[in-house]
Amino acid sequence: MLNNNKLIKSCLSASLKLACTAVLAITTAQANDSTGYVGTGGVAYLKNKNISMHSEDLYISKNNIRVNYEFKNLSNKDITETVLFPMPAAPSRLESDFADTTKLVDSFKIVSNGKPITAKTNVRTFMHPLVIEAGQRTYADNSITIDTTEIFKACGVKDSEMMIPWTNQGNTASVDQKLQNCTDKRLNKFINTNEEDSYLYWQSQIVYSWQQTFKANATTKINHSYQPLVGGSVHLGEEEFATFCLDGATEQALSKTGARPYHALSYILTTGANWAKPIANFKLTVERDPNELVSFCWKGKGKVKKVNAMTFEIKETNFVPKHDFEVAFIMKKW
């Protein structure tokens, strides 16, 4: 899959050509008994020499993500641009234990300078292309997806139907049937007509967008909040130890107790590098429940500070995010 930031930048530089909108990487826990989750993040924007992100105050818990931004227009002219908030791509058929996409959509809010914003909802679909391997037609691996939105529309699939993986308002089997009945030859790249199985695998991505005016020589405040996509498993294993950077003492304690349930979520920080300058002031707050341990990696210069029994904080100055954020909330008692 192509780099998310490069794709977002190229889309924005073409005045929001959503046909090339990035598919954000799906991050799914590997255990069979795990709950799937996908990484969400913050606003994405074209690198503009006149607009900088002065501050980002990010709060993360299992139940809520809140981000308070301050952007500075460094010029003496008002600038109006399209701002994007891209969601990840969700699979067309969600397992029963997959993260709750509907709650994220229902809880999503944007406020600009104290006033609520009604963002435009854009939906895209993606499919894995068929490839030839050992003389047989098979599907490309998960790293390769192609935007199929226009094909879906040509086959009579409505935006509301493409959004079913997010809203659960409808049945994706009806979308599959429309595609199988469609005569558009472009589908031959994605559907193996020799298969008897009626199941088709596709992905749905929502991209929120809105017009934002950044006043000359002024600060613009943007806030957004939503319920994150949370996953986890009944057992935190050695692979997860590395993913969430558990320290030696915690690893040893968990190894003695056997299976230990945990929840996890992912936050995409790297879109914060799309602005004119490094983030002058960055703050990350992580809050856990009383019955949990919390563990995560941090590769910046800032140190992790324990504010109180449940809250941890990191501060950075002139921050350029070069990594995304994975955090595990581990149950103390089984």
For 140-197, the pLDDT digits (tens) are 666 688 999 999 999 999 999 999 998 888 889 999 999 999 999 999 889 876 555 5
Looking at residue 308, its pLDDT comes to 95
Q: Determine, yes or no, domain membership for 253.
A: yes
Task: Collect all residues with Cβ–Cβ distance below 8 Å to 205 and sequence separation of at least 6.
Answer: 21, 23, 24, 86, 87, 88, 89, 90, 123, 124, 125, 126
* More confident call, 327 vs 249: 327
Residue 215 domain flag? yes
Instruction: Tell me, yes or no, whether 64 lies in a domain.
Output: yes
Cα torsion angle, 176, 178, 181, 185, sign: negative
β-pair type (231-233, 262-268): antiparallel
pLDDT reported for residue 163: 93
**CATH code of the domain in which 35 resides:** 2.60.40.3680
271 vs 188: which has the higher pLDDT: 188
Six token digits for residue 195: 């298969």
> Left, alpha or beta for 189 (phi > 0: left; psi -120 to 50: alpha)?
alpha
Quickly state the pLDDT bin for 3 (edges 50, 70, 90).
very low
What's residue 187's pLDDT? 92
Q: Scan for tokens 């791509």, then name that residue.
A: 89
Residue 18 is classified by DSSP as G
| % of the chain beyond a pLDDT of 90 | 36
| CA-CA-CA-CA torsion sign (102, 104, 107, 109) | negative
Q: Which pLDDT band, with edges at 50, 70 and 90, does 23 fall under?
A: very low
Closest CA to 186 of 218, 140, 152: 152
* Domains held by the chain: number: 1
pLDDT at 199 over 90: no
Q: Which of 197, 195, 204 is nearest to 172 (CA)?
A: 204
What's the pLDDT at 273? 67
Q: Which domain covers residue 228, as residue numbers?
A: 4-119+211-331
What pLDDT is stored for residue 7 in this prediction? 32
pLDDT digits (tens, 9 = 90+) for 33-67: 323 344 566 666 666 788 888 999 999 999 999 99
Choose from 68-77, 192-201, 250-259 the range with maximum mean pLDDT: 68-77
Helix, strand, or coil here: 12? helix
150 within a domain of the structure (yes/no)? no
pLDDT at 10 exceeding the cut of 70 = no
| Residue 170 maps to a domain | no
In angstroms, the CA 146 to CA 14 distance is 19
- Cα 18 off chain centre by: 16
The pLDDT of 248-274, averaged and rounded, is 74
Query: Does the residue 247 lie in any domain?
Result: yes
In b/e form, how buried is each residue of 259-277, taking b as 16+ CB within 10 angstroms? Answer: ebbbbbbbbbbbbbebbbe
Question: Which amino acid appears at position 55 of this protein?
Answer: S
Question: Could you give the CA distance from residue 100 to residue 119 in angstroms, rounded to a whole number?
Answer: 21
Q: Check whether 248 has a pLDDT greater than 60.
A: yes
